[in-house]
Amino acid sequence: MCGPEKFLETQLSSIKDFHDTINDEDLSEEDYEHAKQIWDHFGIKTLQGYHDHYLLSDVLLLADVFKNFRDSIYD
Q: Model confidence over 62-72: pLDDT tens digits? A: 999 999 999 99
What pTM was estimated for this model as a whole? 0.79
**Reduced to 3 states, what is the DSSP secondary structure of residue 26?**
strand
- Ordered by start, the domain boundaries in the chain are 19-74
For residue 25, which phi and psi values (nearest 5 degrees)? -130, 145
User: Length of the chain in residues, anyone?
Assistant: 75
The tens digit of pLDDT for each residue in 13-37 reads 899 988 888 999 999 999 999 999 9
Q: How far apart are CA 68 and CA 51, in angstroms?
A: 26
Is the predicted pLDDT of residue 1 greater than 90, yes or no?
A: no
